[in-house]
Structure 1
């Protein structure tokens, strides 16, 4: 029950993401949203989610993870209701931004609460495996539920679905979740502002660059602003006596490899979902329900490998499932590079299923590696850093996919370029794991001191 309670936020987030992908064509037709607008519908949520995750981890430390988790669920429910009521594409994007704010609060808090719920590392590894399987099950249900809801009740129903789920999550957290004592740590508001500015400017440049032109003044200014904000953020973190992310965390090679793996996984998986949803709907004329059914085996495969990964981690450590998962993901992306608009949909689905089976095997190992490095003393910060990097990966993956789809007309070349980028991302993560995550018998001790 505790695992279910703490997974509800992730469940809503995953259902929301996968269901929105099945509804893109309907949203475009109903609200007259162009391709770059559809990218904003997906990435608007991811933008505030990624940019505010570290602030969410800081609030969890200062206010307590239980209170922050419940507050985040409340904000997410409000954002979902506004999405369902949106009268225009712009209003929908603003509501998606609010959803991302709520998710940024409850994501790191849920991981911190899960870490505090179990002291034994082996049992905690199994808990992470089951927890990831619950989340993957939600991702599995998401496309089918989204397709059924869109075809039956319209695209707005996928957002109304979050309202009762969120209210249930708040009530269950009040009854079941532990309440660790808060820590009096600074929030670093200026640092978070720089992070929001950097990601916001980068997202604008990546999404609007193909539309306005890469040399246009707004896009060039956004790119310059993103670089400046990133530089200021790094300088402030280095000079701060109490940085937003504890320096001791990034001194640990397994932690660095884990957060990089998270970025690569979401870069490829979210970019793939965006590409394959539009491929099935635009190139093959498949509706929302058919698209949801096509995505179903992909997300289901990740759920199966999540459970298997938890058992392997408990027996062999995290390194093996990380290497197998990222290597398999790179191989699957390479195979999908050969697809095109005339490729039978079942072959594309098969390649995507192989990809999700592989990366699903790596996800619990990635989470276990990062959270073990953080220990209880830095659980909120470690969880926030992991999820921030994952959402940055999702933001970049969807934006990059949108850029390719906008710039290239032929589906054959579109898929070649997009999946080459995904394969490279997975290969880089494989190398980082190979060099920085040691076998279980030689693993470095977790950071558990204050």
Structure 2
């Protein structure tokens, strides 16, 4: 029950992401939203999710993880209500921004509460694997739930379902979740604001660039702004007495490599979901329910990988699981570049299933690596950093696939370029892990210095 309680927030978030992808066609038709608007519907949520995750982790340290988790659920429920009632595309995007803010609050808190509930590394590995599997199950049923809801009740029902789930999560957290003491770590508001501005400018650049033209004044201003805000953020973090990320984490190459691996994995996973959702709806003429059914097997394969990961990690350790999953996924990305609109569904899906089974094995190993390196002392901020990087990866992945769809009209070339980008992302992640992530020794996470040293 504790695992279910702590997974409920991310379960909602995952169902929401995958279900919304199956509803894109209905949203476009009902609210007259163009392709760039659909990208904003997906990425608007991801933008605030990524931008406020580190603030969510710091807030969990400052006021307590359980209170932050419950507050995030409440904000997410409010955003879902606004989405369900949205009268226009712009209003829907604004409500999605609110949803993302709520998710940014409850996501790092849930992993932190999980870390405090586990007595040792072995138990934590099993709990993280089970937690990931629950999240994976939510991702798996998301397209089916979304397709059924849209088919029977319309796209707004995708958001109505979050209300009972979110309220149940708030009550269960009060009853079952631990309440670790707050650390009162300083909250660097200026750095968080600079991060938000950087991501906002980057999002505008990636989403509007293909529509308005890469040399248009507004896009050029966004590009310059993103570089400027990012440079000031880096300078401030290097000079700050209390940076967003503790220096012990910044100095760990394993921590940096695992975080960037999270970025690349989500770039590939969410970019592929967006690409295939529109492919099935536009190239194959599938409705929302049919699209959900077609996407369901690949997410089920990822869930199976999550369930198997605990046993694989126990036998081989985190590094081999991470390397193997990424390597297989990179190879399958290269193979799938040969796909086209006339490729039989079963043949394409066979390659996709192998890729998602492999990446399902890799994701818990990546998460475990980050949390082991961080230890209990830095659990909140480490979880926030990992998920911020993953959400930024999802944002950039969806935007990149949107750029490909804008630039190329033929679905054969769209699939070739899309799967090529996905395979390249996995290959780069595999190289990073090979060079910077060593086999982590099983040490007590109550000794953060030893854990951080092992992470080097």
SS of the residue corresponding to residue 356 of structure 2 reads helix
What aligned pairs does 1:50-199 form with structure 2 within 5 A after superposition? 50-199=50-199
- Alpha-carbon distance between aligned partners in 1 of 2:366 and 2:287, rounded to the nearest angstrom: 35
- Alpha-carbon distance between aligned partners in 2 of 1:136 and 1:279, rounded to the nearest angstrom: 23
Verify the 8 A CA contact 1:74 1:167 in the aligned structure 2: yes
SS of the residue corresponding to residue 124 of structure 1 reads helix
SS of the residue corresponding to residue 186 of structure 1 reads coil
Which residue matches 2:32? 32
What aligned pairs does 1:37-436 form with structure 2 within 5 A after superposition? 37-436=37-436
Deviates more, 1:413-422 or 1:226-235: 413-422
Deviations 1:29-57 (A, max 9, x none): 00000000000000000000001100000
Which residue matches 2:451? 446
- Alpha-carbon distance between aligned partners in 2 of 1:305 and 1:193, rounded to the nearest angstrom: 37
* Deviation for aligned residue 1:186: 1.2
SS of the residue corresponding to residue 452 of structure 2 reads coil
* Ranges of 4+ aligned residues in structure 1 off by more than 6 Å: none
Deviations 1:235-290 (A, max 9, x none): 00000011011111121122112111111110000000000000001000111111
How many pairs align?
A: 448
Deviates more, 1:438-447 or 1:58-67: 438-447
| Cα separation, partners in 2 of 1:332 and 1:412, compared to 1, 3 Å | same
Deviations 1:20-78 (A, max 9, x none): 01011000000000000000000000000001100000100001000000000000000
User: Which blocks of at least 5 consecutive residues in structure 2 are unaligned?
Assistant: 444-448
* Deviation for aligned residue 1:121: 0.3
- Alpha-carbon distance between aligned partners in 1 of 2:450 and 2:327, rounded to the nearest angstrom: 26
Q: Report the aligned-residue RMSD.
A: 1.3
| Cα separation, partners in 2 of 1:47 and 1:441, compared to 1, 3 Å | closer
- Alpha-carbon distance between aligned partners in 2 of 1:95 and 1:424, rounded to the nearest angstrom: 33
SS of the residue corresponding to residue 447 of structure 1 reads helix
- Alpha-carbon distance between aligned partners in 1 of 2:99 and 2:440, rounded to the nearest angstrom: 38
Verify the 8 A CA contact 1:9 1:106 in the aligned structure 2: yes
- TM-score between the two structures when normalised by the length of structure 1: 0.98
- Alpha-carbon distance between aligned partners in 2 of 1:30 and 1:84, rounded to the nearest angstrom: 13
- TM-score between the two structures when normalised by the length of structure 2: 0.96
* Deviation for aligned residue 1:317: 1.4
- Alpha-carbon distance between aligned partners in 1 of 2:124 and 2:180, rounded to the nearest angstrom: 17
Verify the 8 A CA contact 2:369 2:440 in the aligned structure 1: no
Deviations 1:203-229 (A, max 9, x none): 001100011000000000000000000
